[in-house]
Amino acid sequence: MHRLKTNMSTAVRGTSYLPDGAHQGGGGLSGAEQKVKSLSTSIAQHLQRIYSAHADPTTKSWRQEDVAVWLRHCQGDDEAELARDFPLHQDWDYESFVRYITSSAANSIAPPAPEAQDLSYPLSSYFISSSHNTYLTGNQLSSESSADAYKNVLLRGCRCIEVDVWDGSDSESEAGDDDETSSSSSSSSDDDAFGSDGEQLGTASKMKRKAKRKLPSFLGGRKKSKDKKPAAATAEPSTSKAAAAAAATIPAVPGVPAPVPVPAMTAATTTDAVAPAAGGGLSADTTETNPPLEKSKSGGSSSLFQTLSRKSTKEPRVLHGYTLTKDITFRDVCEAIKDYGFAATDLPLIVSLEVHCSAEQQERMVDIMRQTWGDLLLPEPEEDAKCLPSPEELRGKILVKVKYAPPNDAGGSTTPEDLDNTVANAVAGGLPDEPGQPKQRAAKKPSKIIQALSKMGIYTRGVSFKSLMQPEANMPTHIFSLSEGGVMEVHKEDRKALFDHNKRYLMRAYPSGMRILSSNLDPAVFWRKGIQIVALNWQNWDEGMMLNEGMFAGTGGYVLKPAGYRCGKYTGDNPDPEADTQADAVQHYTMDLTIDVIAAQSLPLPPGDTNIDSFRPYLKVELHVEEPGERHGTDELPQDGKEKEGEYKAKTKSLKGYGCNPDWKAKYGVPVELKFESIPGVVPELSFVRFLVLDDEIGRDSLAAWACVRLDRLREGYRFVHLLDAKGMESEGVVLVKITKKLRL
């Protein structure tokens, strides 16, 4: 139980734990070359027995032909690959055998196959290692934000990061989005980042006060006082009925405080430019002293919004809105992305922007990105792309994902004329209709994204999802963002259309807003739907992040989908229209898997434990494969995106008295055999094996170390499983096993 308490304590305080990302897993660290640096006495004895069992009785060495037979039939190795590093054309002594068995060639994880490293397909043909609310270091409600969080995930191989951007002063924030009624605090995408239509978003201080009142006390919320009396109501100023009706119908204007009732307007005054009233509301009166309203050169309307709102004194900030999370500056985030975006790999980096800023602050965002990233940004194309480019074509480039505002659409940018007409029409629409007069048409709502910012989304244009049949669903550069629950709904309605869409176009899935402690969904469930970008909370260590490590081990953050999951290489077309669901897109196998557990060494202790004598480790192995009902569409997606537990798992007995070097074969005389027989519906590229070392305790057993391997990369024969500790850091811990894997149709 102590590990659970440790995690809760960290989550509540929001303290950051940001180790060196270059030595932390989650994004593919386990695919790097790993060697066993030293051998414990017990493991050395086991290796000596393995060697002696195949040695020539006379020479006590392995003859050249015996080496080839053993490598081919027992290990399943490619001799041509081994020939570069090991002497295959001569006899092996024990030292030669040890050099092989402790090298990366004997790692349980095979490197990606050459064909799987083909980066010439369109972007939609790849799974992309992705982060959710990247700036957070703990829970979703009260943890710290840090630019170092971007450094951490980028060094770990993440290729899609998220940035939630808010105005830099307390006078801002946009209102209104008819797509969703939730704010950033619901873990939404840029498509549903704003409040509901007509809702006035408060200042940063009001946001935090409001959030703190609603938070449970264990997450930093304010305790309710039993003696507190309700505040007296404030009297409203009297207005005419017509004026009150007009004020009620005026939509919230970006950057403008909520309107107060105004005196009835004449036809002349309703078309005049509006300016802030002394009381902070809107006034229809204009004077000669008002400056002209000009459209900004970059496609926004900063001068208008500077007139309508108090000019911000700070640069845009990054935080989780309507929560108690601490903020950082947008510039600091951009600097971290510039410094570490291509430190681990030069494959393209997607920066997913969730924008809550006023037009003026969006202008500032554009300036900061262009100044900081410079040539890392893509040049603006002369025409829209007919299909998505490949990762190979985009090496070393940052792709900005931001909500798309059509350039010629009336709502594409907020100009002075648009705003004047919007306010005037809204006022007129709220007045009683006069006999014989035609009804005023409903005003189009201005876009919240200025053109200068929208244009930066060249190949990753965020589009609000309504259905897979909406016109934008055929735009090659669009990307839909859906919560895990949203994916479940779409899958339930039309799994075929969902699967077909994801062959040719991008889609992003993100965790439910109810995951306040930053737990993760099961990404494999969503990868099997063809979704390329499955965003995870990288600050939390759970099943989801382990599977992410297994998927992207040693890949640079891009994994080519199975053939039936991807589109044509150069055209972006569907090469196999008949392969229209996950049930028939790829071959499914029945699998027999046996893992003989021999011994382990140098196991790390669970977090917070220092007493080696009380350590009672055991090894648990779990298989992650798709459910038959999910494959054939007879079942809905598992609740919360999680698989059923308890179906495919096996474990050894715990050992006491061996410390960090448990030896199961020495204890029982033979290796402990963990068997998985006749497992149906296995797709090796989308199935995973998890190795978990746990401490046998009273209550919940604590995690000490783990490894996760994609099934198609799980090697057979005598192998070392290299372990990461409970926080995903590299460790010296290894488990010696013998693996036998058989796939049949």
Residue 571 is predicted with a pLDDT of: 60
Give yes or no for a contact between 532 and 503, defined as CB atoms under 8 angstroms apart: no
Give yes or no for a contact between 718 and 77, defined as CB atoms under 8 angstroms apart: no
Confidence label for 672 from pLDDT (cuts 50, 70 and 90): very high
* CA 655 – CA 253 distance, rounded (Å): 66
Mean pLDDT calculated for residue range 286-301:
41
| 6 membership: H or E segment, kind and range | helix 2-13
* CA 211 – CA 228 distance, rounded (Å): 19
Taking each helix axis from N to C end, the angle separating 330-340 and 148-155, rounded to the nearest 10 degrees, works out to 20
Residue 92 is predicted with a pLDDT of: 95
Residue 583 is predicted with a pLDDT of: 75
Confidence label for 115 from pLDDT (cuts 50, 70 and 90): confident
| pLDDT single digits (tens) 337-367 | 999 999 999 999 999 999 999 999 999 999 9
% of the chain exceeding 90 in pLDDT: 60
The whole model's pTM is what?
Answer: 0.77
Cβ neighbours of residue 563 under 8 Å, at least 6 residues apart? 576, 586
Residue 374 is predicted with a pLDDT of: 97
% of the chain exceeding 70 in pLDDT: 69
Neighbouring CB atoms inside 10 A of 270's CB total: 18
Mean pLDDT calculated for residue range 7-25:
57
Confidence label for 585 from pLDDT (cuts 50, 70 and 90): confident
Neighbouring CB atoms inside 10 A of 669's CB total: 7
Mean pLDDT estimate for the chain: 79
Mean pLDDT calculated for residue range 681-699:
95
Most confident of 16-30, 255-269, 392-406: 392-406
Mean pLDDT calculated for residue range 569-588:
69
| 623 membership: H or E segment, kind and range | strand 617-624
| pLDDT single digits (tens) 501-540 | 999 999 999 999 999 999 999 999 999 999 999 999 999 9
Mean pLDDT calculated for residue range 544-573:
89
CA dihedral 531, 131, 691, 641 (to 10 degrees): -50
